[in-house]
A and B are shown apart, each in its own frame.
Chain A
Amino acid sequence: GENVEQHPSTLSVQEGDSAVIKCTYSDSASNYFPWYKQELGKRPQLIIDIRSNVGEKKDQRIAVTLNKTAKHFSLHITETQPEDSAVYFCAASTLPANFGNEKLTFGTGTRLTIIP
């Protein structure tokens, strides 16, 4: 099955600086890579996703890059703000699914703290 590794587990960044979180995956069949932001006790919220047919995607201060050959993808947050503080999870899956058997496999999470 798929295995997703995520680094670092904790990250402290000065407000205004950039933050980068990296993930690797094992299953070459995976083609959908979402990133979730989770605040304490809340549901994982999708912040950005990328599919294997593109190498980069950007949405305002958030960008994701994907290297299919190396099987790794990264989240970049620029101009960080205090409200970016949360736990971030990467994940991998294969879409479209067939018969519901394509679950999300999560990384172990990165606790991001933005220092004012």
Chain B
Amino acid sequence: AAGVIQSPRHLIKEKRETATLKCYPIPRHDTVYWYQQGPGQDPQFLISFYEKMQSDKGSIPDRFSAQQFSDYHSELNMSSLELGDSALYFCASREDSSNYGYTFGSGTRLTVV
């Protein structure tokens, strides 16, 4: 069965650089959630999209932006990277208005050096 695909799996960037993370949800899933998980921390909600519109926003820095495209994939853009941005970034998708839960992608490990 198709899962949530995230790319890249690993990314190394220098401080002040820009990174773009991609998420391809399960077909027919119209909602995407982004989470950031620091070392030893629980996943923290960043932002979500429903039908290509931002639906909710969490603790996402102003340096980050995201969008959902017409094919429902989503991209998280991170600029002026800081050392503290090093984390695992997970994307999860689900079908809105259904009783089914969330499916997580394998994550992107971002290391800022």
Residues of A that sit less than 8 Å from B by CB? 32, 34, 41-46, 49, 51, 89, 93, 95-101, 103-109
Which of B45, B49, B90, B100 touches A100 (beta carbons < 8 Å)? Answer: B49
Whether A103 lies near B45 (C-beta < 8 A) is yes
Q: Is B98 an interface residue (CB 8 A)?
A: yes
Whether A100 lies near B50 (C-beta < 8 A) is yes
Whether B45 lies near A89 (C-beta < 8 A) is no
* Residue of A with least CB distance to B94: A97
**What is the minimal beta-carbon distance from B91 to any residue of chain A, in angstroms?**
10
Whether B96 lies near A44 (C-beta < 8 A) is no
Docked CA distance A98–B48 (Å): 12
Q: In this complex, which of A43, A105, A109 has the most chain B Cβ atoms within 10 angstroms of its Cβ? A: A43
26 A/B residue pairs, CB under 8 Å, sorted by A: A34-B102, A41-B88, A43-B90, A43-B106, A51-B99, A95-B98, A96-B96, A96-B97, A97-B31, A97-B94, A97-B97, A98-B96, A98-B97, A99-B51, A99-B96, A100-B30, A100-B31, A100-B32, A100-B48, A100-B50, A101-B50, A101-B55, A101-B56, A103-B48, A104-B43, A109-B41
Docked CA distance A108–B41 (Å): 7
Whether B97 lies near A32 (C-beta < 8 A) is no
Which of B50, B99, B106 touches A99 (beta carbons < 8 Å)? Answer: B50
**What is the minimal beta-carbon distance from A108 to any residue of chain B, in angstroms?**
5
CB-based closest 9 A-B pairs? A100-B50, A100-B55, A100-B31, A106-B42, A43-B104, A101-B56, A101-B55, A103-B45, A96-B97
Once A96-B96, A96-B97, A97-B97 are accepted as A-B contacts, the answer to whether A104 and B45 lie under 8 Å apart by CB is yes
Whether B42 lies near A103 (C-beta < 8 A) is no
**What is the minimal beta-carbon distance from A44 to any residue of chain B, in angstroms?**
5
Which residues of the partner chain A approach B58 to less than 8 Å between Cβ atoms? 103
